[in-house]
Chain A
Amino acid sequence: MESLYNLWAKRNAYYEEEFYDSIVDAFCQYTGGSSEGQVSKGKTFNAGYEIFIYVFFLGLYYGERRPLNGKTKTFGQPVGMWGNVTQKGRKSYGKIRQYIFAALVAKTDIDFIGLDKGDVQVEDAVSALMQTMNEYANTGFYLMKEKMQTIPDFFFSNQGFLNYILKYCSQ
């Protein structure tokens, strides 16, 4: 039996296409290339999934899932590769995948007894987890969009991303 985590980690995340230009490409050194000059280009993150992780947690802490609409886009790497950073000056943060998985399990209504008994298909359970993830992230994307409409350069400051997410942390 392949673990639920591994099955989930093989999947790719999705997001609404409209956020590609305005957020994903705007903040990530998305289409490859060296990370040299990343800062001068105004790119905060490296891979595109990094901004996705951010908006996922943003939506998660905000506490709202928002179903995706319209055309969607995906990333080049499946969830299982997220955080395996090799860029100079960065640290690997693969452990974050387990926390995302834990959050999805906590927040997704899955009949685990039925799953263990074989009454529920595991692929369906994994799809439910992915849907939860994409919907929380979608909420995060919209929160960012809203903020950028009010203060366009908000996320270009050093503390922009941090301050914004801290606002929704319940600690």
Chain B
Amino acid sequence: MVIKRILIKNFRSYYGEKIFEFSTHLNLILGSNGDGKTTFFDAVNWAFATTENDSMRSTTLVSAKMFSELAPGSTGEVKVSIDMVNKDNQSRCVEKSFSVTKELDGRMHIDNYSFVGYITTSGSRRSVPARDILEKEGLFPAVIKKYCLFKGESELNVFNNKSTLKELINLYSDVKDFDPFKDFTASAVENASKAKIAAEKKQNTNNDAAARLGAQIETQKTLLQSMIEREKECKITYDTTEDKIKAIESDLDTIELVNNIQGEINVLSSERDNLSASLDEQYSIKLLDDLWILYGFQPILEEYSKKTAALSQERQKLLNKHLTEQAKRAAKVEVQKELEDELEKLPWFIPNIETMKQMVEAHRCKVCNTPAPEGSDAYVFMKKRLDEALAHLNPEVTTKEEETEQELFENNYIDEIYKMSISLYDYGDNIAQLGKTIKEKFSDNAEIQSAINERLEKIQLMQNKIAEIVAQSASGEDVSAYLSLWTNIKNWYKNKEDAALDLKDLAKQIPEKKREIEELEEKYNKTMTSVQGKIYARLYTFFNILNRSIERAEASSFNDFLNRLQDEANKYLALLNVDDFTGEIHIFSESGNVKLYLFDNNNKRIERPNTSLETTMHISVLLAISELTKENRDNEYPLIFDAPTSTFDEGKDRNFYECLNSRVDKQCIVVTKSYLTRNDDTGTFEVNEKELAGIKCPVYRISKREGFNKKDLSTIETIVTPYSN
């Protein structure tokens, strides 16, 4: 199928009718950002879509400009019409449309959705359901379309999905032609086996040798079955681990590096936590609990001490004065008494106390040298004098003072506060030390805080480094999500290796086991004596051999297809990369899946091809598949790309298109911003005529009509200008 013409009417920015006509080779549609490149692609995709859902008649598809110009109550049309010719050069057309009415209240109403096909034969045109043309006639089946329309480079990586590639190969190659034969032989083997077993049972009931062989065969078959099961499990393990590894293999070094940095961060975080725990910054609490609040108390303590000392002194002075007065009064009484009694003129300490004691004990007065027997007046007098002298030395005097004090003061609060002052003053040294204590605590905490900050800075730097490394993830995976899986990741490799080794062993063991069973079955068949049994045994053997032959033929056909695909793809790769390193595409079957890799001449896999090389590789395979399709399906399909070369270096994209045009015999419609250069004076993009002169193909320039309002969608209109070169 070749697309001849596309008409887009009132589809988003394509206001009014815009027409593109295409050649059978390369066709370029040039536009810069916002000019309608993707809208063109979406319009084509919409017109070919055979599914029915609301998105097919969405108001978002309607040209805002057309709708804004509609008068209330009037109707407009959205339509995409594609004219094609089939392999027999007969005209075909598919047309998708719906009508748009502006209600009186200004709302949009969509109606009359239509998806119709037209067949033109001998000048007459008849309409049919569009699906009849696209699917039944095979003009552009959905399953093919899926691999012909590519939006951006990212969609080309459908080849990374092994099942997709397998699906494509099944679609295009003749491998599937073996399916009916496989089904037949599998069923024949099963039926022959059943018939044989029934005959065996009938005949060999009492045959020990046959029974032993039968048992052996069963055992071996069980073993074979478990090997096959094991092979399946290994394939699953291999595939799943490979998928996981593939997702991140280009970032493996990164993950390990990030993991190591994270380890360092963990150590620093732990140190930071320990330091934070030792940081004692509860200064407000220390004001109370550690009495730091007394830092300014020294002057008040001194004031208190002075005051209480002064009060104490004053109180003592008053007391002394009172005592003196009291003593004076007492002395006066004593003098009077002495005058009354001459003998008592002697002071209390004459004679001294020792002499008086001797006189009392000796019952004799040594002053007047006369005897003084006990009970006599002289004895009583001496005894009285001794008691009075002793009384002067006796603490009874203090008691008397206290009594005197109590006469003067009812209370002793001054003594209480004075004593407290002594106790508090003893603590005064601690208050004097508070300044030093506070300074030391500040200094300790500052040191700890500095150590914490140092670690925080290091952590921040490391986290930035991780963020930087993660942002540069080659696989596009979120590398940080794999950090916690680091141990598992290391196991993935081991699991994959183990599975691969097991698969290798099983690939050897299974055929051996099958041969072993065949030999046993052959022996067993020889035990057959009945004609019927022999026939079933032969039939069974025959179908078994046929089944295996078909399997081998299918595998061989599959490999042939892969080899051809690989050869064709490499031809295109070489064509599309004339002056650049290409490597070689290897397409092969591995563990039941199809793989696609680039290798260099030394047969070394190129792990990370640059994006343009990868894109070229994907397009080469697409072209190769398309080429093989011509042979296998007797049909061909256009390839439509939206901005496939956006990451190509300047110049490389032009080489690519020149090659695509001159060397590839295939219809390609490419929407791109290549060949456009910015005019610094006007700020607009213009076609680089000099560069475009080298390429001979239909070229359309799409652009926004000038004078649009940046904030009003209804002023946007894509204009289409054929560019002749």
Interface residues of A (CB under 8 A from B): 1, 3-5, 44-45, 50, 53-54, 57, 60-61, 83, 85, 90-91, 93, 95-96, 98-99, 101-103, 105-107, 112-113, 115-118, 122, 125, 158-162, 165-166, 168-171
Interface status of B412 (Cβ within 8 A of chain A): yes
0/1 string, B273-310, CB within 8 A of A gives 1: 00000000111111111111111111111011001100
- A164 to B282 alpha-carbon distance, docked (Å): 15
Q: Given contact pairs A102-B301, A162-B292, enumerate 13 new A-B contacts (beta carbons under 8 Å).
A: A3-B413, A57-B293, A93-B291, A99-B424, A103-B297, A106-B303, A106-B304, A113-B318, A115-B414, A117-B409, A158-B281, A158-B284, A165-B296
CB–CB A102/B311 < 8 A: no
0/1 string, B420-443, CB within 8 A of A gives 1: 110110010000000100100000
Cβ of A107: which chain B residues have Cβ within 8 Å of it?
A: 300, 303
CB–CB B414/A158 < 8 A: no
CB–CB B417/A122 < 8 A: no
**Best-buried of A53, A83, A90, A106 by chain B (most CB within 10 Å):** A106
CB–CB A103/B284 < 8 A: no
> Nearest 10 A-B pairs (CB), nearest first?
A169-B296, A118-B410, A106-B304, A91-B289, A162-B283, A161-B284, A158-B281, A106-B303, A102-B304, A116-B409
CB–CB B307/A105 < 8 A: yes
- A3 to B417 alpha-carbon distance, docked (Å): 9
CB–CB B420/A95 < 8 A: no
Least distance between B297 CB and chain A CB atoms (Å) = 6
Interface status of B408 (Cβ within 8 A of chain A): yes
- A3 to B411 alpha-carbon distance, docked (Å): 10
Q: Interface majority SS on A: helix, strand, loop or mixed?
A: helix
Interface residues of B (CB under 8 A from A): 281-301, 303-304, 307-308, 311, 314-315, 318, 408-414, 416-417, 420-421, 423-424, 427, 435, 438
The closest CB in chain A to the CB of B445 belongs to A158
- A3 to B418 alpha-carbon distance, docked (Å): 12
Cβ of B423: which chain A residues have Cβ within 8 Å of it?
A: 98
CB–CB A115/B307 < 8 A: no
CB–CB B413/A112 < 8 A: yes
Q: Interface majority SS on B: helix, strand, loop or mixed?
A: helix
Q: Which of B281, B285, B292, B295 contacts A90 (CB 8 A)?
A: B285
Cβ of B308: which chain A residues have Cβ within 8 Å of it?
A: 105
- A102 to B297 alpha-carbon distance, docked (Å): 10
CB–CB A116/B411 < 8 A: yes
CB–CB A162/B287 < 8 A: yes
The closest CB in chain A to the CB of B289 belongs to A91
Contact (A101, B287) CB under 8 Å given A106-B307, A117-B409, A122-B413? no
CB–CB A1/B424 < 8 A: no
CB–CB B293/A170 < 8 A: no
Cβ of B285: which chain A residues have Cβ within 8 Å of it?
A: 44-45, 90
CB–CB B420/A50 < 8 A: no
CB–CB A166/B295 < 8 A: yes
The closest CB in chain B to the CB of A110 belongs to B413
CB–CB A117/B424 < 8 A: no
CB–CB A4/B417 < 8 A: yes
CB–CB B289/A90 < 8 A: yes
Q: Which of A1, A53, A112 contacts B417 (CB 8 A)?
A: A112
Contact (A61, B290) CB under 8 Å given A105-B417, A116-B412, A118-B411? no
Contact (A53, B414) CB under 8 Å given A96-B293, A170-B299? no
Q: Which of A95, A101, A105 contacts B291 (CB 8 A)?
A: A95
CB–CB B288/A105 < 8 A: no
Cβ of A115: which chain B residues have Cβ within 8 Å of it?
A: 411, 413-414
